[in-house]
Amino acid sequence: MKLAMYDAGAGPRAGVIVGDDVLDAGVSAPVIELIADWDRARPLIEANLAGARAIPSTDVRLLAPIARPGKIFAIGLNYADHIAESAMETPAHQVWFTKAVTSVNGPYDPVLIARAAPFVDYEAEMVVVIGKRAKHVARADAAAYIFGYCVGNDVTERMWQHRTTQWSLGKSFDTHAPFGPWITTADDVADPHALAIECRVNGELRQSSNTSHLVFDVFAQIEHLSAAMTLEPGDVIFTGTPAGVGAAMDPRQFLKAGDVVRCNVEGLGYIENTLAAEA
């Protein structure tokens, strides 16, 4: 199932993507609440879809599937080619940082270049959405705690990222966590570690890899995070980006107003955001 939040002019609603259409889920709760009670919500939604009117997706605005995740975590240095282009060593331990909840952005909404931070870069990533409370989860059991997957862009302001040893500020500017365009439930993803991933800027291919190249795979990530904290339904995990970021190009290529960034993960759809200067 492809579960989305959309707005057809009357406010946010939960919907299901079928082909090129959106079908209203027939429930008033946002997606994050549906995830928390999925065993009950799914059969109700499936029953409602039988009589739902199909709305062309071009006639609605798709929103971030989860507007206010409890936590947003992202892992750094998690593709070997990206580690190499960053002139770093492969980390012995997972490198984590947070992105502020206020950085959440819609899959097709503008990404802002802040007045105080003009060195904006892209990072195409597969995103994991947690489906159950998870604490001290073994890697072998981690798949059972994943609700689904989507596409994300870990937008980064490089000056703020690298002027201290802590990355969270440089990763947390408003609008700098677009993800979606929907959540593909885990039962519809045969292998999350065999998906092509790419990023294009103004149509030019910048990143092209496969999730099979993750240094720490998705299940290892959940094992590691849940050893430290309780993961909760609707928590969002950005799983790492491959080589090809603008900061590693020669000369460096940072994003500017008007640039269009499109991130795609095989089978999960794509997000596309236009850069705009902050007012």
Final residue before a domain boundary, out of 35, 63, 91: 63
Q: Which domain holds residue 8?
A: 2-63
Residues 213 and 155 occupy one common structural domain: yes
pLDDT of residue 212: 96
Residues 160 and 213 occupy one common structural domain: yes
Tokens representing 55 are: 């709305």
With a CB cutoff of 8 Å and minimum separation 6, the contacts of 188 are 1, 2, 148
Residues 104 and 193 occupy one common structural domain: yes
pLDDT tens sequence across 37-75: 999 999 999 999 998 999 999 999 999 999 999 999 999
Q: Exposed, middle or buried by CB within 10 Å (0-12, 13-18, 19+), for 169?
A: middle
pLDDT of residue 86: 87
Residues 112 and 248 occupy one common structural domain: yes
How far is residue 172's CA from residue 102's CA, in Å, rounded to a whole number?
8
User: What's the pTM?
Assistant: 0.97
